[in-house]
Amino acid sequence: MLKRIWTIFIRDLTVNMREFMTLYMIIIPLVLAVGINFLSPSINDTSVNLALIENENPEQAAYFDDFANVELFSDEQKVEDRVMSRDSVAGILPKDNGYYIMTQGNEPESVLEYAKLLNVLYEADVQLEDARSEIIEFGRTVPPLKKMLVNMLLLLISMLAGMLIAMNILEEKVDQTVSAINVTPTSRSAFILGKSLTGMAVALFSSIACLLITGFYNVNLGQAALVVFSSTILSLLIGFIQGLNSDDVMEAAGSVKLMFLPMAGSIAGYEFVTGNWQIFFYWSPFYWAYKANDMILSKSGTWPQLILFIGIILAICGAVYALLAPRIARKLQ
């Protein structure tokens, strides 16, 4: 039995490598991980953008530069042009007795409030050297946005793994080899396991590699692997049924789009929905996977919590499998 599963796995791996799909699925998450590294520092450093007139008051420009992103322009018209551009920029321009704030009129309130506050602090001559505050830091270097993007990437990897399974099954269907399994000594469960191993191996490899690339090398990789493994089981199950149900590539493409909905919804629910409303996302294993990943990336969870989350994911997967098993069996016949 194990030998047959292994044979199917090796055969799938060889075919996938030849068709670049597996390579894509390994390379794409790595490219995205590099992209996250590239984007997150500049996003984290985002502050309010201020436009000033160059050399009008260099001391003021230097002062604002300590608190905001300052852009200098040769005259008032150029500042006005910049303020009128599509992003949120406030101009701070001289008037008879001080400075006024020029806005486009559509900036978020927070941008305007920040610009007003800085102008007030400058007018009141509040200097950094006179600070009456002490800042104690916990030494965390990974901003929440980066953690969120990496967490999304981990879920995406398990989705891609599901797609790989779907494509593998579809290939068998197109080649009409699925029915041939029935006349071989290979059992259906061995076939299912064999077809799934490539996706799982790719998911595990890519997830660990992405964690290392994005700088999460000090998280518990064993815990992360467990979550990836459990969420891949669901993607795999959905991928398998998609592969069996789809008659052509268009149907598989449509199913993939449908699969993204619960994943995106679960992430949005976890991040944006507060308090008791989160209960509406408890049915989604992606919600629990995201929550478990968040705990691991934050290094804030315990093993019992993690085991509970994984247990919930596996229980939902088990329920889905129980629902789909007769269908899989029918389609394999």
Partner 1 sequence: MKLLSSFKKELILASRGFYFYVELIFALVILAVLLFAIPQNFSGTSTEYLYFNLPQEGKEIFKNIILEDDLDTKSEMVEIKAGGKTFNAELIVTDESEIYIVNSEEAVRMLAETHRNIGAVLELDDNNQLHYKYYLQGYESTRLKNLISILFNESTDVLKERIENQDVRPLSTGYEPLNDRENTIPPLVAFSGSLMGMFIMASYIFLDKKEGVIKAYAVTASSVWQYLMSKIFVVLLTSVVSGIIITMPVMGFSINYGLLLLLLLTTGFFASSLGLLIASFYNDLVKAFGVIYLILILMMVPSIAYFIPGWDPVWIKIIPSYPMLQGFKEIILPNGDIAYPLIASAGFLTAGIVLFAITNIRFKKTLSV
Amino acid at the residue 143: P
* List 112, 181, 212, 332, residue binding partner 1 (CB under 8 A): 112
In this structure, the number of other CB atoms found within 10 A of the CB of residue 70 comes to 19
**Residue with smaller CB distance to partner 1, 6 or 56:** 56
- 10 HSE (CA, 13 A, CB side): 6
Q: Which residues of 246-282 are buried (b: 16+ CB within 10 A; e: fewer)?
A: beeeeebeebbeebeebbebbbebbeeeeeeeeeebe
Considering the rule CB under 8 A, would residue 87 count as an interface residue with partner 1?
Answer: yes
* List 1, 10, 17, 84, residue binding partner 1 (CB under 8 A): 84
CA distances to 6, 92, 102 from 115, in Å: 63, 8, 10
Considering the rule CB under 8 A, would residue 37 count as an interface residue with partner 1?
Answer: no
Tell me the closest approach of the beta carbon of residue 321 to partner 1, in angstroms. 23
Considering the rule CB under 8 A, would residue 75 count as an interface residue with partner 1?
Answer: no
Nearest to 59 by CA among 70, 48, 47: 70
Tell me the closest approach of the beta carbon of residue 258 to partner 1, in angstroms. 6
Site residues for partner 1, 9-28, by CB under 8 A, read: 19-21, 24, 27-28
**Residue with smaller CB distance to partner 1, 105 or 326:** 105
Considering the rule CB under 8 A, would residue 197 count as an interface residue with partner 1?
Answer: no
**Residue with smaller CB distance to partner 1, 66 or 75:** 66
Tell me the closest approach of the beta carbon of residue 34 to partner 1, in angstroms. 12
Tell me the closest approach of the beta carbon of residue 7 to partner 1, in angstroms. 22
Three-state SS at 91 = strand
Dihedral-angle region of residue 20 (phi above 0 means left; psi in -120 to 50 means alpha; beta otherwise): left
**Residue with smaller CB distance to partner 1, 166 or 328:** 166
Considering the rule CB under 8 A, would residue 30 count as an interface residue with partner 1?
Answer: no
The DSSP annotation for 239-304 comes to: HHHHHHH-SSHHHHHHHHHHHHHHHHHHHHHHHH--GGGGGGGTT-HHHHHHHHHHHHHHT---HH
**Residue with smaller CB distance to partner 1, 44 or 182:** 44
Considering the rule CB under 8 A, would residue 34 count as an interface residue with partner 1?
Answer: no
Considering the rule CB under 8 A, would residue 300 count as an interface residue with partner 1?
Answer: yes
CA 35-41-45 angle, 5° bins: 145
Site residues for partner 1, 121-150, by CB under 8 A, read: 121, 123-124, 126-128, 130-144
Interacting residues of 103 by C-beta distance below 8 A, sequence separation 6+: 83, 90, 91, 112, 115
**Residue with smaller CB distance to partner 1, 90 or 289:** 90
Tell me the closest approach of the beta carbon of residue 147 to partner 1, in angstroms. 9
Q: What are phi and psi of 87, to 5 degrees?
A: -85, 180
Site residues for partner 1, 228-287, by CB under 8 A, read: 246, 248-251, 253-255, 257-258, 261, 265, 268-269, 272-274, 280
Considering the rule CB under 8 A, would residue 46 count as an interface residue with partner 1?
Answer: yes
Considering the rule CB under 8 A, would residue 226 count as an interface residue with partner 1?
Answer: no
